[in-house]
Amino acid sequence: MAGTFITFEGIDGSGKSTQLRLVSNFLREHGCETVLTREPGGTTIGSRLRAALLDANEEVDPLTELLVFAADRAQHVRRVLRPALAAGQVVISDRYADATVAYQGAGRGFDSSLISQIVELATEGLVPDLTLLFDISVRESTSRTMRRSNARNKRDRLDIEHADFHERVREAYLQIATSEPNRVKVIDTSGSVETTQGKVKAILIPFLRT
């Protein structure tokens, strides 16, 4: 039986990770077993790649960055996602291939046909059944990531990119949603955590029942 593949996407500070935590608690309480995973870092080698990719002290060439995200994804698809889906599980991934289109394509400026080829190579055509795109203005997301970094850890290598980088990433995500409205659902996260969680559940619950 084929499982269900759901991804969460959005610019840094969009509230995606908080919502993912709440959703996973909710699903567990309701007896829906899910595999929670993420990119980069959903495998053991991937967690090492993640540390290198996000280290703010590391000077990573954009081509290297593109290829390492793709390497992380290839391992994730072949060793985690495909086996779990083949076993009929519901898999939720914190980021997936749309992030490469948005960050490396629009953010770094790689040609869209190169991005498509690399995404295809790494995913072997595995496309999510549903993608929740958490959307917020860059101004608000930046103030959230600043607050978060003041409260605990530092901002990572991509968090510290300029606002125009994050604007391009956001626009690219919204463009993906416009071109694939059946797969990608945009959720405005400018309200409270609870308001956003209500919107997430309104989309997810009926989807998981069908």
8 lies in the site for ligand TYD, by CB under 6 A: no
CA distance 99 to 108: 12
Which residue, among 94, 93, 106, 100, has the nearest Cα to 167 in the 3D structure? 106
Nearer to ligand TYD by Cβ, of 63 and 87: the residue is: 63
- Give the residue with the Cβ less far from ligand TYD, 130 or 169: 169
Among residues 7, 19, 100, 131, the one that binds ligand TYD under rule CB under 6 A: 100
Give 62-65's long-range contacts (Cβ < 8 A, gap of 24+): 62/104, 62/108, 62/109, 62/110, 65/104, 65/108
Query: Among residues 69 and 110, whose Cβ is nearest to ligand TYD?
Result: 69
Q: Does 99 bind ligand TYD (CB under 6 A)?
A: yes
Site for ligand TYD in 171-210 (CB under 6 A): none
Q: Is 158 in the site for ligand TYD (CB under 6 A)?
A: yes
Give yes or no for a contact between 118 and 66, defined as CB atoms under 8 angstroms apart.
yes
Tokens of 164: 């125009």
Closest distance of CB 97 from ligand TYD, Å: 7
């003041």: which residue's tokens? 150
Task: List the one residue from 7, 75, 90, 94 that touches ligand TYD (CB under 6 A).
Answer: 94
Of 44-63, binders to ligand TYD (CB under 6 A) are: 54
Q: For ligand TYD, which stretch binds (CB under 6 A), given 25-33, 75-83, 99-107, 191-199?
A: 99-107
**Considering only residues 113-152, where is the footprint of ligand TYD by CB under 6 A?**
none
* Rounded Cα distance, 92 and 193, in Å: 19
How far is CA 166 from each of CA 30, 47, 51, rounded to the nearest angstrom? 36, 24, 21
Residue whose pair of structure tokens reads 């391992």 in the numeric block:
75
Number of residues that bind ligand TYD (CB under 6 A): 15
164-177 burial, b if ≥16 CB within 10 A, otherwise e?
ebbbbbbebbeebb
Nearest residue to 94 (alpha-carbon basis) of 143, 4, 21: 21
Stretch that binds ligand TYD, among 100-108, 122-130, 176-184, 188-196 (CB under 6 A): 100-108
Binding residues for ligand TYD, rule: CB under 6 A, are: 12, 17, 38-40, 54, 69, 94-95, 99-100, 103-104, 156, 158
